Amino acid sequence: MCEMTKELLSSQRSPLLPDRHPQRDLFVCDIVDAVPKGDISSMENPVFTLSTKPDMRTRRYERGENWIQVAPSRAGLATVHDRDVLIYCISQCMAALNDGQQVQRRMRFKAYDLLVATNRQTSGRGYELLKDALRRLQGTQIETNLRQGGKEYFKVFGLIDSAEIVKETRDGRMLDVEVTLSDWVFDAIENNHVLTLNRQYFKLRKPLERRLYEIARKHCGAQSAWKVGIKLLRDKCGSSSTLKEFRRLLGKIIEDDAEHDHMPDYAFVIEGDIVVVRPKEETRPTALPFLPSSLRLDPETHEEARRLAPGWDMHHLEGEWRSWVLEKGIAVKNPDKHFLSFCKKRGGYQR
């Protein structure tokens, strides 16, 4: 096949993976929110590699005095696509909690259900890829320093503690899989530190597209816009590309989205050295009937909030609080008290 034909076929290919299975219910959660209780720094640092080939690098990310280090096993670092396993596990646990059931770190599920729910292939190759994902999730080791209450803690953990294939048919396909989630992930479940993901996330081909969506979902939320420097966005994505190459890759995703509208919920625009993220019109809230009254704050509340969360822009923090309340559907009886509690948990800004 000549190069011109290859290029033509590549340009005609949809940026989305095919919808391999019938649509199912929307899944809940974002593993980038599955952080140790009280820690906000890990949201600033990528955990999963963007590489589709075995990534054997140990990587360290620093933001001010906070740092996180991610080390691979001999199977390599856990990938953005491996994260599907955690999304599925957290989704099942959250659904059980919403039904009033108890959940445990150790859970068993049908491998086929996971593959269908996350839009993965259910062929023999699909089951082998799931095995590989479990190996990387168990082997990837994370080290970080946690700052809380004037103290610094050193913590080492994995994404899952263990995984076991309970049954396997003669042709190699898994039937039941048992996974023991790490404390790091299970804490997020117990404390409801999860966000809802658009199901189209599982159809995004490129790891960078998935990571961009995760970041937009966390930082932009329901705000009218969120701005970030392109260099910081590259670091948040965990990209090893040069700044020039990252800009090109991001520009290609923006170009494809303009043509195919394949990126869920959020649109990206490059303005000089700044990237602006905005909710797409169809996902932006059209009616917030209770916002002006139920979530109105007393002018003096910001003063107390500055004491509880020094260094933060109060208007930005208030926007995050409002978005969180709306997304979670929380009934707020006392908005001032509720906002102050939110600020207290957020703590001082970590530069």
- Same domain? For 73 and 26 the reply is yes
Domain that holds residue 152: 22-196
Residue 74 tokens read as 């001999």
Task: Going from the first residue of the chain to its last (351 residues), give the mean pLDDT of each consecutive group of 10, the final group possibly shorter.
Answer: 44 71 46 28 69 93 83 95 90 80 92 88 89 96 75 84 84 83 84 80 94 88 89 93 97 94 94 95 43 60 81 72 72 82 77 45
- Same domain? For 216 and 75 the reply is no
CB atoms within 10 A of CB 183: 15
- Same domain? For 66 and 138 the reply is yes
Task: List the strands of the sheet with 151-158, edge to edge.
Answer: 59-63, 66-71, 141-148, 151-158
- Domains of the chain: total: 3
Confidence at residue 309, expressed as pLDDT on a 0 to 100 scale: 81
What is the residue type of 344? K
Confidence at residue 208, expressed as pLDDT on a 0 to 100 scale: 96
Confidence at residue 21, expressed as pLDDT on a 0 to 100 scale: 64
What is the residue type of 327? E
Q: 271 forms bridges with which residues in the sheet?
A: 274
Confidence at residue 233, expressed as pLDDT on a 0 to 100 scale: 95
Cα separation of the two ends of the chain: 53
Confidence at residue 313, expressed as pLDDT on a 0 to 100 scale: 67
CB atoms within 10 A of CB 32: 23
Contact in structure between 184 and 47 (CB atoms under 8 Å): no
Contact in structure between 278 and 267 (CB atoms under 8 Å): yes
CB atoms within 10 A of CB 252: 13
Task: Say how far apart CA 196 and CA 291 lie, in whole Å.
Answer: 21
- Same domain? For 258 and 329 the reply is no
pLDDT digits 0-9 by tens, 95-124: 787 778 899 999 998 898 888 888 898 888
The helix/strand/coil state of 87 is: helix
- Same domain? For 209 and 192 the reply is no
- Same domain? For 191 and 340 the reply is no
pLDDT digits 0-9 by tens, 34-78: 222 222 334 456 889 999 999 999 998 887 777 889 999 999 999
Confidence at residue 172, expressed as pLDDT on a 0 to 100 scale: 65
Confidence at residue 328, expressed as pLDDT on a 0 to 100 scale: 65
- Write the DSSP assignment of 302-344 as a string of letters: HHHHHHHSTTS-HHHHHHHHHHHHHHHT---S-HHHHHHHHHH
Confidence at residue 123, expressed as pLDDT on a 0 to 100 scale: 85
**Domain-ending residue, one of 261, 282, 303:** 282
